[in-house]
Amino acid sequence: MDGQADLSGALIAELRAVLGDRVSLADSVRAHHGKDESYHTLLPPDAVVFPRSTEEVAAVVRACVRHQTPIIPFGVGTSLEGGVGAPHGGVSVDMSGLDRILRISAEDMDATVEAGVTRKRLNADLRDTGLFFAVDPGADATLGGMAATRASGTNAVRYGTMRHNVLNVKAVLADGRIISTAQRARKSAAGYDLTGLLVGSEGTLGIITEVTVRLFGVPEAISAAVCSFPSVDDAVKCCILTIQSGIPVARIELLDSVQMDACIRYSKLDYEAAPTLFFEFHGTPDGVKEQAELVQRNATDFGASDFKWAVRPEDRNALWLARHDALYAALALRPGSVAWSTDVCVPVSRLADCIAETRSDIEKSGLLAPIVGHVGGGNFHVIFLIDPHIPEEWNAARRVNERMVLRALDMEGTCTGEHGVGIGKRRYMAAEHGEAIAVMRTLKQALDPANLMNPGKLLPD
Amino acid sequence: MDGQADLSGALIAELRAVLGDRVSLADSVRAHHGKDESYHTLLPPDAVVFPRSTEEVAAVVRACVRHQTPIIPFGVGTSLEGGVGAPHGGVSVDMSGLDRILRISAEDMDATVEAGVTRKRLNADLRDTGLFFAVDPGADATLGGMAATRASGTNAVRYGTMRHNVLNVKAVLADGRIISTAQRARKSAAGYDLTGLLVGSEGTLGIITEVTVRLFGVPEAISAAVCSFPSVDDAVKCCILTIQSGIPVARIELLDSVQMDACIRYSKLDYEAAPTLFFEFHGTPDGVKEQAELVQRNATDFGASDFKWAVRPEDRNALWLARHDALYAALALRPGSVAWSTDVCVPVSRLADCIAETRSDIEKSGLLAPIVGHVGGGNFHVIFLIDPHIPEEWNAARRVNERMVLRALDMEGTCTGEHGVGIGKRRYMAAEHGEAIAVMRTLKQALDPANLMNPGKLLPD
């Protein structure tokens, strides 16, 4: 597929035949659908459609295929690597109209939702069941988008990523066929893992229209703790020991001293501007108390000071406030700046080194860039705070990012732990996957021979 | 690929050029490699090779492809659906020579082993690290075989199946290429999940030669409990409530009254021949005590009697003895019989119904067949005890099995929770997967166009 697609009048007519006035060519609508929350350039689609069912999505796909026109799924636009842009033009498929919660089973602890349902909406609907959907990437993303990008977040260390939380998906493939990837059983040894293949495929193999996810019981008790360490290395070692001990921590977040400085200024907190771990514990009242005591003992062994522990919701919230407001705090460090958030993930034994070397690169570059990490899984984020009017800052950030990615690969890590590939990380896919990239191309070619499903994403040219 | 492959002298010469005398045409060796632990007919390969490295496996594959000869990987032959037989002839690739533990990282809690390493061997090597490999299918299978069949077992409810425990694999594809499916990071959003695609592919897309697996910390304390219930329904409801409450039970096993009767006779135990749950709890000493108390409360609510709880290893072992010896106990119910073990998995809300209807079918058929279940995940096994000289018993078991599989599919379950498809469950793949079976075929065709990788398995003709 080369160059810009030309949206034919015939295609628009076919789309209108299916969707009526739920087809938009308006500039503002196209612009809204051509950019996510990332630093990537606006790449507007030629049209935006608003289907309300799997069958309508399939009809859209068939029409686009007849006209050899790219198809780009859109959730709520919270992706971070340019996954929703239209580098080759085409039709953006806005999934917000597929917004039904189809089934909740308290006994099976699972739910089936249409792809446009957001995670907060699902959790609101679950309120009376004693269950919750655990994956929490921060943004209120759609379940379809989260599945497509294999989203993750702060509590993956306890509850897993979308890879572990999706039981099956319904998807429309590149030829308009509708498939279900698996039954609803908790496990199966019956054939190829099509669920796993679609989860994380970023719309390049098909459009996910329904998702069945695991749910977990709302813990009887939740408590939180915060403590600061002499160095990132000490904080990471405390985290490793905690996980080795089998303490089932629900969240362990690392904020480096630059990020803590930002949070202290922003939220007027009484903390040190030192590397800091935020913990959350889920369990019974006795269980969370025991977890916190064990963690405190580990933390003290690694020089931690100022261990603050909180059980009451208002105290917990106060403790976690700094973490939740990390991005706003970072932006407030430099009014007028924009944030470029990037992530890598390495084996946790290499995490402290990877962060230290990246921090050193940042200092040398003269950039301002706090670091926040889902440290239990070896995943961390750098938030470059860039003056959008200074091109050299973009270039410096690009260089630091590239060195960080290559460093992570060198440490047996990945170019993205949870943000996805989109447009931004394509250039690293060959370095990360070697010969396996050819296998990915073979799969793409087999399932989307005309390269119409979200072209220009995930796989390098 | 039609009919029986003819093993050419030229191929044998090429194999010998690579492997020397590690190529066998002996009847006894071929027979050993043509049958697993299942009821399936012996289907010996034409030759057996014993490579010792990934490169040797790749050379074998390339030679076989040149001569259009099927390739069947073999671990230790503990599979249960005929996965190792050679219905189209060909070369069995015995992986036992790939037996090195390549790397253990206590900090990262992972290990990389060659595919021929068995799980007990790995756990023996881990003894001094405070870590263990958690997936436990009963048999001392190889890690490569367990990955290829997406194995699972009694503690999947806490630690997951091979799908969750494999971080990456090295594999030889159908054209002899060697790929690694992922880096060693705990999570990644970088491209298609090739690890997930190979795990559970049963040698039909490639031969897994190395596996990197997650490890867990050996719990500080382990305790066990056993209690019996008025009905399977009560036992399952107790199980559902326990999991909903978030109690992190490590194992929950259900033995039905027929199986308990067998165990009581075999192990001379002081139990009731009633539906019985076996629990194992992992945690801190206080934690396992609390878990057991919470479970006992749940169990009492569902009419359980005779709650036996044990902390000391010798007492725990005594409690679990009946479960571990379940197969021998079943066979002893009918001396001279052979066991045909089959499994399905359904959403746990349907488990009691699925077991009850299956039990009723068994009674009507006149067969003797205990039922054992990994009840936390909705997975259960029927062990048909068959007089091998009475064909009508095989036919009756086939009918009960078929009705059970179709019932499970009807209940949104799967034809196999953990045994795999092999030869035995191929006939149900289309009913289970519908349109998605065509996608599986497309993937197979794309990665193995000549259909030489374990042909006649997993996918229906």
Closest CA to B321 of B235, B275, B229, B255: B255
DSSP string for B235-261: HHHHHHHHHHTT---SEEEEE-HHHHH
A62-106 confidence digits (pLDDT tens):
999 999 999 999 999 999 999 999 999 999 999 999 999 999 999
Q: Any idea where the domains of chain A sit in the sequence? A: 9-96, 100-217, 221-327, 333-433
pLDDT at B3: 38
The residue-averaged pLDDT of B418-427 equals 97
Could A163 and B187 be called an inter-chain contact, meaning their C-beta atoms sit closer than 8 Å? yes
Residues 6+ apart with CB under 8 A from B368: B258, B333, B334, B337, B384, B385
Neighbour tally for B328: CB within 10 Å:
13
Q: Under an 8 A CB cutoff, do A200 and B186 touch? A: no
Among chain A residues, the shortest Cα distance to B184 is held by: A412
The pTM assigned to this predicted structure is 0.96
Q: Tens digit of pLDDT for each residue in B40-86?
A: 999 999 999 999 999 999 999 999 999 999 999 999 999 999 999 99
Residue B109 has pLDDT above 90, yes or no: yes
Token representation of residue A221: 């008790």
Look at the domain A221-327 and name its fold. Alpha-Beta Plaits (3.30.70)
Q: Check residue B1 and give its pLDDT.
A: 39
**What digits encode the pLDDT tens for the residues B187-226?**
999 999 999 999 999 999 999 999 999 999 999 999 999 9
Of the listed ranges A73-77, A101-105, A193-197, A314-318, the least confidently predicted one is A314-318
Per-residue pLDDT averaged across A332-336, rounded?
94
Domain A9-96 has CATH 3.30.43.10: yes
Size of interface A-B (CB pairs under 8 A): 296
In order, the DSSP letters of A49-94 are E---SHHHHHHHHHHHHHTT--EEEESSS--SSSTT--TT--EEEE
Angstrom distance (rounded) from CA B327 to CA B372: 9
Mean pLDDT of A196-205: 98
Question: Using the beta-carbon criterion (under 8 Å), do B197 and A192 form an inter-chain contact?
Answer: yes
Nearest chain B Cα to A147, which residue?
A: B189
Reference A416, options A392, A382, A440, A365; nearest CA is A382
Contact at 8 Å (CB) between A190 and B427? no
H-helix or E-strand spanning residue A329: helix A326-333
Q: Which of A154, A157, A168, A188 best probes binding to B when mutated, by most B CB atoms within 10 angstroms?
A: A188
- B439 pLDDT higher than 70: yes
- The Cα–Cα gap between A361 and A342 comes to 15
Residues of B with Cβ-Cβ distance to A150 under 8 angstroms: 188-189, 193
pLDDT of residue A6: 61
Q: Across the interface, do A197 and B192 touch by the CB < 8 Å criterion? A: yes
* Residue count of chain A: 461
Closest CA to B61 of B393, B450, B381, B410: B450
Query: Do B188 and A446 make contact, defined as CB atoms within 8 angstroms?
Result: no
Q: What is the CATH number of domain B219-419?
A: 3.40.462.10
Query: According to the CATH classification, is domain A333-433 in 1.10.10.1800?
Result: no
Q: Burial-class residue B384 by CB neighbours within 10 Å (0-12, 13-18, 19+).
A: buried
Report the range of poorest mean pLDDT among A14-18, A145-149, A326-330, A359-363. Answer: A326-330
* Residue among A183, A201, A442 minimizing CB distance to B412: A183
Contacts 24+ apart (CB under 8 A), B311-315: B311/B221, B311/B223, B311/B285, B313/B222, B315/B224
Give the whole-angstrom CA distance, residue A328 versus residue B150: 44
Given a cut of 90, whether residue A3 has pLDDT beyond it is no
B chain contacts of residue A414, beta-carbon cutoff 8 Å: 182-183, 185, 187-190
pLDDT greater than 90 at residue B321: no
Question: Distance between CA A249 and CA A15 in Å, rounded?
Answer: 49
| Tens-digit pLDDT profile for residues B331-342 | 999 999 999 999
If you average pLDDT over residues A452-457, what whole number do you get?
A: 98
DSSP string, B81-150: SSTT--TT--EEEEGGG---EEEEETTTTEEEEETT-BHHHHHHHTGGGTEE-----SS--BHHHHHHTT
| DSSP per position, A281-303 | EEE-HHHHHHHHHHHHHHHHHTT
Query: Are B205 and A192 in contact (CB < 8 Å)?
Result: yes
CB contact under 8 A, A417 and B294: no
Using alpha carbons, select from B14, B58, B54 the residue that is nearest to residue B173: B58
Q: Which of B190, B199, B379 sits opposite A429 (nearest CB)?
A: B190
- Give A-chain residues touching B459 at CB under 8 angstroms: 191
Q: Which amino acid is at A432?
A: E
Residues of B in contact with A194 (CB under 8 A): 436, 439-440
pLDDT of res. A324: 86
Residues B347 and B209: their CA atoms lie apart, in Å, by: 33
Bridge partners of residue B213, in order along the sequence = B111, B166
| Burial of residue B443, with CB atoms counted within 10 A of its CB: 0-12 exposed, 13-18 middle, 19 or more buried | buried
pLDDT confidence band for B6 (50 / 70 / 90): low
The partner residue sitting opposite B458, judged by closest CB among A191, A346, A378, is A191
Note whether B320 and B251 are within 8 A (CB): no
Contact B185 A458 (CB under 8 A): no
Q: What pLDDT shows up at residue B39?
A: 87
- Helix, strand, or coil (residue A259): helix
Question: Is residue B306's pLDDT more than 90?
Answer: no
Nearest-by-Cβ selection for B244 from A130, A187, A436: A130
Residue A121 contacts residue A55 (beta carbons within 8 Å): no
CB contact burial A308-322 (16+ within 10 A = b; e otherwise):
ebbbeeeebebbbeb
Residue A207 three-state SS = strand
Q: What is the pLDDT of residues B123-172, one digit of tens each?
A: 999 999 999 999 999 999 999 999 999 999 899 999 999 999 999 999 99
Instruction: For helices B313-324 and B257-267, give the axis angle rounded to 10 degrees.
Output: 120
**Which candidate, A457, A393, A460, A385, places its Cα nearest to that of A82?**
A457
> What class does CATH assign to B106-217?
alpha beta
Question: How far, in Å, CA of B160 to CA of B162, rounded?
Answer: 7
State percent of chain B over pLDDT 90. Answer: 90
Looking at residue B324, its pLDDT comes to 86
Q: Which residue did the predictor score with more confidence, A1 or A312?
A: A312
Do the chains contact at B248 and A248, CB–CB below 8 Å? yes
Mean pLDDT (chain A) is 95
Pick the CATH number of A100-217 from 3.40.190.10, 3.40.50.300, 3.30.465.10, 2.40.30.10: 3.30.465.10
Best to test chain A binding among B152, B186, B411, B442 (most A CBs inside 10 Å) = B186
Q: CB within 8 A of A392, min separation 6: which ones?
A: none
**Per-residue confidence at B323, pLDDT binned at 50, 70, 90?**
confident
Question: Which residues does chain B have within 8 Å of residue A193's beta carbon, measured at their own beta carbons?
Answer: 150, 163, 193, 196-197, 199-200
Inter-residue contact A344 to A404 (CB < 8 Å): yes
pLDDT at B5: 46
